[in-house]
Structure 1
Amino acid sequence: MILLLGLLFVVPRTAWADGAHCNETTDTCEVQYHQEIVPDPSTPPSKDGSRDGEKPKYPACSSFRGGSVVALPGTALADLPVADRPEPGWARSSCLEDGTLMWVWSPPRVNVEVMARTLLARLQLRPITIGLTPKRQGSMGFVGVPNWLWVQDPARTTYGPATISAGGISLTAKVELIEWDMGNGDVVRCRNRGTEWFDGMGVKQSPTCGYVYSRQGHFVVRATAHWVARWSGYGQSGAIRLSLTATRPLEIGELQVIITG
């Protein structure tokens, strides 16, 4: 008697992504610097996995130059001492002083970069929601069966583009690369949001972003979205890079054919 329990797929470990080599040398902005990312424990978990809770942080009030004026949010200029009032043409931004959100007025031309960081923080960007086969969390995937990878429900604040303008500065942020750490040392790099898998599509490779496991085990998939926020204002321009990560556990088993007689 032959008892068919499944098919044994033998496929060498492979990873693929849309585009050629998916390198990270695409930024062409005139000015570049790194945006500090800090944990935010208040960020809720996604429906498909947990989030690391990273988000852009408001800059420190001390980073504004040129005799800046700092006051509590909602403070009217008339309530400030005459000697401390902002000069004509100064722009108002937000900043952090000892962990407290404050208002700051400063000469914009010498603070364009740091003002752009306040705009980025106001966008409230979030990690993506992971799309992954098998779609139901807790279901088992299998060795040799392609896993599709995608951004579930991409939105303005999870994938972009997200645009904001204030104080003479405009900023547009969008995801330019997603790195999928498959939990076994392999990383898939995709410069697209992937293609969602639906019932009936069968067992085949994703046309845009996917991976095949070559061994069974328990893995934690980490999807890191690499954002680039390009800004311009007052004759200057630049780019801020930041990364936001979501995670999801995945169990990979092995299908086999067992023959009994």
Structure 2
Amino acid sequence: MLTRHLTGGRLGAATAAAASALLFGVLSAPGAAADGASGGGGGGSCNPTTGVCGVGASTPASPGGGSSGGGSGGSGGGGTCSYQGTTVPCELPGYGYWDGEGCYDELENPQPPANAVIWYGHNPADGGAIYWQYCPYGGGPAGIVYFQAYLPTPPPGQPDQESPGQIAAEMMKNLKLYGVAIDSAPASGGTGLVGLPVWLWTRSNLQLPAVTATVGDVSVTMKAAIGHITWSLGDGSASFTCAHVNTAYQASDGATTAPACGRSAGYRAAGDYTVTATSVWGVTWTSNIGIDNPVPAIVDEPSRIRLTIDQAQALNTAPEE
């Protein structure tokens, strides 16, 4: 069974009555009866203050010989489905797709704000979504056949439809994040000296081009950028970040210029050291139906190089006698 949290439909009184008559005519279900939204035997009603209405209708009788359970769900785009032995269209234009449990479901577009009551405390980015549901066979609350509902997963019958959160999760699996390439002075593979400045930088791009994936009517655009890089010199000292990670060492900087990123005093002892740059990526996404995830998902990607540091040797420059 689908789990539904319900709120009244958004039809005005005249529209509700017309929609009820039209839709029950399409379904041609035995025993179905349409009622005006301003009241009547089916329980339809409108709130005169808010204008929110529910379309009321009685539950149709099951045809003889029909199944006692729900019928088959539709795959979208036409065809016929069934409900308790009665043939129904798999798609009802303007009202969505048959879910096999007595209702037609249509994704709300755009989605309500994240703080709307209809979310019932759920995070819109976690995968669920808000649907408009038309339940002519009494699938909704007593006397209401058209309403909004929060569904944690897409209902059956939707045409290859996934929620923005589900699409984003699949995109994250295929997102190619990387650790930046590290440039240094002294260079990896070369030799530096104790006490001389160590420069660190990268020429790697700090963000990826935005990518978009579309499934059915839902599109998700994902962006990824490096928020900062954490550097470690591999000598037991504290790691650090730099405001300028693209400033390269130039020959004119010599041995005394303080590096834009690195350590002015260099290493204190000779040895081989592993320098690590941990790229901290932030990934965000937005969708075309108003469900967004503006709080970055954080992904760490490390990269490493090896530096060799020697001790400078003192030279005996005393004149010969």
Q: Shorter-chain-normalised TM-score: which range?
A: 0.5 to 0.7
- 1:183 and 1:222 in contact (8 A); partners too: yes
Structure 1 position 124 matched with structure 2 position 211: no
| Alpha-carbon shift at residue 150 of structure 1 (Å) | 0.5
Residue identity opposite 2:292 in structure 1:
Q
Structure 1 position 66 matched with structure 2 position 153: yes
In structure 2, which of residues 279, 292, 298 is the aligned counterpart of residue 241 of structure 1? 298
| Alpha-carbon shift at residue 67 of structure 1 (Å) | 5.9
Per mean C-alpha deviation after superposition, the further-off stretch among 240-249 and 227-236 is 227-236
Structure 1 position 190 matched with structure 2 position 242: yes
Instruction: Quote the Cα distance in structure 2 between the aligned partners of 1:142 and 1:255.
Output: 6
| Alpha-carbon shift at residue 223 of structure 1 (Å) | 0.9
- 1:179 and 1:223 in contact (8 A); partners too: yes
TM-score, normalised relative to structure 1: 0.54
- CA deviation string 1:233-260 (max 9, x = no partner): 2333232110111111111112142336
Instruction: Quote the Cα distance in structure 2 between the aligned partners of 1:218 and 1:163.
Output: 40
Query: Aligned to 1:128, what secondary structure does the other structure show?
Result: coil
- 2:227 alignment partner in structure 1: 176
- In structure 2, runs of 5+ residues without a counterpart are 1-122, 126-151
How many residue pairs match? The answer is 159
- CA deviation string 1:78-133 (max 9, x = no partner): xxxxxxx851371xxxxxxxxxxxxxxx3x1xxx3342233234331222111111
Residue identity opposite 2:274 in structure 1:
V
Structure 1 position 213 matched with structure 2 position 270: no
Structure 2 CA distance for partners of 1:169 and 1:150, relative to 1, 3 Å: same
Structure 2 CA distance for partners of 1:196 and 1:129, relative to 1, 3 Å: same
Instruction: Quote the Cα distance in structure 1 between the aligned partners of 2:186 and 2:286.
Output: 42
- 1:176 and 1:192 in contact (8 A); partners too: no
Instruction: Quote the Cα distance in structure 2 between the aligned partners of 1:121 and 1:204.
Output: 46
Instruction: Quote the Cα distance in structure 2 between the aligned partners of 1:230 and 1:191.
Output: 22
- 1:139 alignment partner in structure 2: 190
Structure 2 CA distance for partners of 1:206 and 1:160, relative to 1, 3 Å: farther
- 1:123 and 1:164 in contact (8 A); partners too: no
Residue identity opposite 2:305 in structure 1:
R
In structure 2, which of residues 148, 159, 165 is the aligned counterpart of residue 88 of structure 1? 159
Structure 2 CA distance for partners of 1:124 and 1:189, relative to 1, 3 Å: same
Instruction: Quote the Cα distance in structure 2 between the aligned partners of 1:241 and 1:164.
Output: 18
| Alpha-carbon shift at residue 172 of structure 1 (Å) | 1.1
Percent identical among aligned pairs is: 23
Instruction: Quote the Cα distance in structure 2 between the aligned partners of 1:165 and 1:191.
Output: 30
| Alpha-carbon shift at residue 218 of structure 1 (Å) | 1.1
Residue identity opposite 2:204 in structure 1:
P
Cα RMSD after superposing both structures: 2.6
Residue identity opposite 1:222 in structure 2:
T
Instruction: Quote the Cα distance in structure 2 between the aligned partners of 1:246 and 1:204.
Output: 27
Instruction: Quote the Cα distance in structure 1 between the aligned partners of 2:172 and 2:280.
Output: 14
Instruction: Quote the Cα distance in structure 2 between the aligned partners of 1:67 and 1:230.
Output: 22
Residue identity opposite 2:181 in structure 1:
T
Structure 2 CA distance for partners of 1:116 and 1:245, relative to 1, 3 Å: same
Instruction: Quote the Cα distance in structure 2 between the aligned partners of 1:200 and 1:236.
Output: 48
Structure 1 position 230 matched with structure 2 position 284: yes
Structure with the greater relative contact order (CA < 8 A, sep ≥ 6): 1 or 2? 1
- 1:148 alignment partner in structure 2: 199
Please list every run of at least 4 consecutive aligned residues from structure 1 whose deviation after the TM superposition is greater than 6 angstroms: none
